Amino acid sequence: MSISDEKMLEIIAIFEKEIRAYEDTMFGLMLDHETAPKWVNTLQKISYKNMKRRGEKALKEARNILSDAKQGKPAKYAMPFFEFPIILDDMKSRIDVLLQCYEELYPERPRDRSLSKEEIIALRNEAMNKI
């Protein structure tokens, strides 16, 4: 059974959106970790590292599948079945609020630049106002 080129382009576009959404989730996970009080970070350090590692591994795998699909390799059939690691609902809601606040406070700020202490406090305060 062969997939039409048009359908494959549609599947690729959807998969690209899923990758971008999970990249946002992983960035939000980092924001959640950065804005949490130190005592919370200490308690959740191993859990955060494990979630980050699983997420980065999944993103790498997804990008490889996407690259192969764009080249017409057989991996294209893996896209509809690929699943990113699950983020629990309560954490996902915090991540979503933090991402929204980050975009409102720092719309042009590069994501790879570390947050200053003042930015962390501002982000935390803005998020608390939204919850």
pLDDT of residue 1: 45
Mean pLDDT calculated for residue range 22-38: 92
CB 94 within 8 A of CB 48: no
Contacts of 116 (CB under 8 A, 6+ apart): none
Mapping DSSP to helix (H, G, I), strand (E, B) and coil, where does residue 113 land? coil
pLDDT of residue 26: 96
> Which pTM value belongs to this model?
0.85
Q: Would you place residue 76 in the very low, low, confident or very high pLDDT band (cuts 50, 70, 90)?
A: low
Reading the block at residue 12, the tokens are 């690729």
Mean pLDDT calculated for residue range 91-98: 92
Q: What does 4-59 look like in DSSP terms, one character per residue?
A: -HHHHHHHHHHHHHHHHHHHHHHHHHHHHHHHS-HHHHHHHHHHHHHHHHHHHHHH
Give the Cα separation of 27 and 106 in Å (integer): 14
Mean pLDDT calculated for residue range 27-39: 90
Q: Which domain holds residue 63?
A: 5-130
Q: Is the pLDDT of residue 2 over 80?
A: no
Overall domain count for the chain? 1
Give the burial class of 130: count Cβ atoms within 10 A of its Cβ; 0-12 exposed, 13-18 middle, 19 or more buried.
Answer: exposed
Q: Is the pLDDT of residue 77 over 80?
A: no
Mapping DSSP to helix (H, G, I), strand (E, B) and coil, where does residue 121 land? helix
